[in-house]
Amino acid sequence: MCHCTFFYLCLRMISVIISTFNQPAWLERVLLGYSCQIFKDFELVVADDGSDESTRKVIEKMRGEGALSLKHVFHENLGFRKCTILNKAVESCNGDYVIFSDGDIIPRSDFVQTHVNMRREGRFLSGEQSGCLRISLRRSVPGRSGRGSVLTESGWKITDSANLSRTTN
């Protein structure tokens, strides 16, 4: 238990766990988002629920770029076992504080820093205001986009975590 006046002084490292299954293109975007974080002192653990070889290749490519401390925790594909792989990922963490996210959530550059600033001992932090972009994998119909969404040039609907419109070009 930490007895410091400021809880953040006690932390040695932060671990971020990203769950994924056979979505290498999205995982690459997510990993790029973590490589651009303002706060750099964290490890990234990819909890892979049995993806094929293409996911491993994306992780190896990102490791080679050297911008991230990156672990790949994997188990064989025996059906949906996300909770099992998340538990294995937690066991592999070196951090004193763990942040969970999904393989289709691209973090803003201040995502980890926001967690560092807002964390409190004995509490957990969650919710839509945590600093991520949520990207819909469904195509939107031009002229019929939902509240707070925009169509990009490629036609994908993008909505940020505060339901404010944003395009990425």
pLDDT digits over 42-78, tens only? 999 999 999 999 999 999 999 998 889 999 999 999 9
Q: Coil, strand or helix: which one is 168?
A: coil
Average pLDDT value over all residues in the chain: 77
Residue 89 has pLDDT above 70, yes or no: yes
Three-state SS letters, 63-91? HHHCCCEEEEEECCCCCCCHHHHHHHHHH
Q: CATH 3.90.550.10 spans which residues of the chain?
A: 13-125
Q: Using CA atoms, how far apart are residues 74 and 88, in angstroms rounded to an integer?
A: 9
Confidence band for 153, pLDDT divided at 50, 70 and 90: very low
Pull the structure tokens for residue 19. 């769950």
Reference 134, options 16, 4, 8, 29; nearest CA is 29
Res 129 pLDDT > 80: no
Q: Identify the weakest region by mean pLDDT among 45-54, 88-97, 154-163.
A: 154-163
Residue 135, pLDDT above cutoff 90: no
> What does R_g of the chain's alpha carbons equal in angstroms?
17
146: confidence class by pLDDT, cuts 50, 70, 90: very low
Q: Among all chains, which residue has been given the structure tokens 């750099």?
A: 40
**What mean pLDDT is predicted for residues 8-28?**
86
Q: Binning pLDDT at 50, 70 and 90, where does residue 124 land?
A: confident
pLDDT at 11: 61
Q: Are 147 and 163 in contact (CB under 8 A)?
A: yes
13-125, CATH topology level: Spore Coat Polysaccharide Biosynthesis Protein SpsA; Chain A (3.90.550)
Does position 132 have pLDDT exceeding 70, yes or no? Answer: no
